A and B are shown apart, each in its own frame.
Chain A
Amino acid sequence: MASQILPLELIDRCIGSKIWVIMKSEREFTGTLLGFDDYVNIVLEDVTEYEITAQGVKKTKLAQTLLNGSNIAMLVPGSEGPDAK
């Protein structure tokens, strides 16, 4: 039998936890996952945006934010993001 859990079920279990969002472009976000929908549009709280450029990483703090799912490449559940090791 194939997988017993759907990909988005895993993400659903992360609601309320930290999540690391990696976009298709050189851009990443971390924050607390508040919710998402079938398009993987994502609502985050206490957000940090990371813009990765040749000059380095630019960080921006944001309040509650809706990320457009069409630009999202990957999600890392439970991760504090690129700074955490």
Chain B
Amino acid sequence: MDESPRPPSDQSPPPPPPGAQSHTGSPTDFLKGIVGKRVIVRLTSGVDYRGVLSCLDGFMNIALEQTEEHVNGVVTNRYGDAFIRGNNVLYISAAEPL
């Protein structure tokens, strides 16, 4: 009983992105299309982060480059890189039409 397989460690990769639907326009397709583009990430608190989307994972954890933090339309911070924890994310929007 003490030789049971180990549970997955905390460092194991997160689950794959939400199940891909066959039709185009699914969240997965959308995300594939906007990596490397300028995006607006709005948190549930109402704070916005504008920057270039480096990558994201199945939890909606997000890595942004050239990040600007906007509160009530005013730039309140700038970060070269930023990791945003996915549970805070309300939406990810393309900053310009795709």
Identify the A interface with B (CB < 8 A): 15, 23, 25, 27, 34-39, 41-43, 47, 51, 62-68, 70-71
- B83 located at the interface, meaning its Cβ lies under 8 Å from any Cβ of chain A in the complex: no
Of chain A, the residue at the smallest CB distance from B26 is A35
Complex alpha-carbon distance, A70 and B88, angstroms:
10
B69-98 vs A, Cβ < 8 Å mask (1 yes, 0 no): 000000000000000001101111111111
Q: Are A66 and B31 in contact (CB under 8 A)?
A: yes
Q: Are A37 and B91 in contact (CB under 8 A)?
A: no
Q: Are A41 and B18 in contact (CB under 8 A)?
A: yes
Identify the B interface with A (CB < 8 A): 18-21, 23-31, 34, 40, 44, 46, 60, 86-87, 89-98
Summed over the interface, the residue pairs from A and B with CB atoms below 8 Å come to a total of: 75
Q: Are A15 and B23 in contact (CB under 8 A)?
A: yes
Given A43-B25, A43-B27; A37-B19 close (CB under 8 Å): yes
Contact partner, B90, options A35, A37, A67, Cβ 8 Å: A67
Contact partner, A35, options B30, B60, B98, Cβ 8 Å: B30
Of A15, A64, A65, A66, the most chain B CB neighbours within 10 A belong to: A66
Complex alpha-carbon distance, A47 and B60, angstroms:
20
- Report B48 CB to chain A, min CB distance, Å: 10
